[in-house]
Amino acid sequence: MWSRFVYLLLLGLSLCCVLSAQMKLTIQPSEVPDVSLAQYSPSAHPAFGGFLDDNQVAPSKGAALVVTNSTNRTIVGISVIWDYADASGKLSHRAVKSDSFLTNDKRPVLQPGGQLLLTPTTMITDVAAKSGSYSTLVSGQSQQNDLVNTSSSITGHLDLVIFEDGEIVGRDQRNYIDELKSRKKAAETLLRELREANGHEAAVAVLAKEGSLRPQNAEEAWRLRYARRLRGAPDIERAIQALSQLPELPQFYRK
């Protein structure tokens, strides 16, 4: 019985290795001057080796990409897309995005000269990786790990970069700029309703109403998300104050 278990375990590991070996990762050239996208390499990107060896992250290692910011400008928003194809030709897609406008301190996504590791399940800067301050995993971990390990080919590309002054470069196939605008408008609309509410109970009623709506567009979806987050906060007033202090969006432009 034990020998059969060991055999099956080794067989599973062998199949996993075969799938990984068959999978081909292709990188589309970056459209952003001096911001490059490359497949993760232990020799070229040593800061991320320990992070990628983590049991939760390792299954998506085959699709790991590294963005290098060779400009003298801070990046405040980024979107990277993976296109998967299995042996039958079936296609699926994954976008991982991050920006500086969901925290009061407007934390940069990537500093000048820095590197950012992205997999379909997580992202982390070289500074954080070196310090051991690891980021949390993004959603869909199990599904994305399966896609990485069963796809015959994966293509990664840098979809959008947002610089601190508001310049945007890239195709923005996932409409990230529109999402940021909808998100900001949702916060402003909800805050206005809360300011017009008379007292704590009225504010709770506003949040309950917003939290029960079925969103019809991106703005309403973010209002729903904000309302549920505020309702679940230990201190609603403090949470409302934090929402009101989110950074303003820059004036987005393209050259």
In a domain, 255, yes or no: no
Pair (169, 181) in one structural domain: no
pLDDT averaged over the chain? 88
Pair (185, 168) in one structural domain: no
Q: Tell me what the mean pLDDT of segment 155-181 comes to.
A: 97
- Answer for the pair 254, 218: CB distance below 8 angstroms, yes or no: no
Band (142; pLDDT cuts 50, 70, 90): confident
Pair (100, 208) in one structural domain: no
- Domain boundary (125, 149, 173) is at 173
**pTM of this prediction?**
0.86
Q: What is the pLDDT of residue 22?
A: 54
DSSP state letters, 3-26: HHHHHHHHHHHHHHHHHHHH-EEE
**pLDDT beyond 90 at 182:** yes
Rounded to 5 degrees, φ, ψ at 211 are -75, -10
* 185-199 confidence digits (pLDDT tens): 999 999 999 999 888
Pair (46, 135) in one structural domain: yes
- Domain boundary (135, 152, 173) is at 173
**pLDDT beyond 80 at 100:** yes
Amino acid of residue 101: F
Q: What is the pLDDT of residue 17?
A: 40
Domain limits for position 41: 22-173
**What is the number of domains present in the chain?**
2
Is 245 in a helix, a strand, or coil? coil
Pair (132, 43) in one structural domain: yes
Rounded to 5 degrees, φ, ψ at 186 are -60, -45
Q: Tell me what the mean pLDDT of segment 15-27 comes to.
A: 59
**Alpha carbon separation from 57 to 86, 91, 114, 144, 224 (Å, rounded):** 21, 23, 21, 11, 30
Q: What is the pLDDT of residue 198?
A: 82
In a domain, 4, yes or no: no
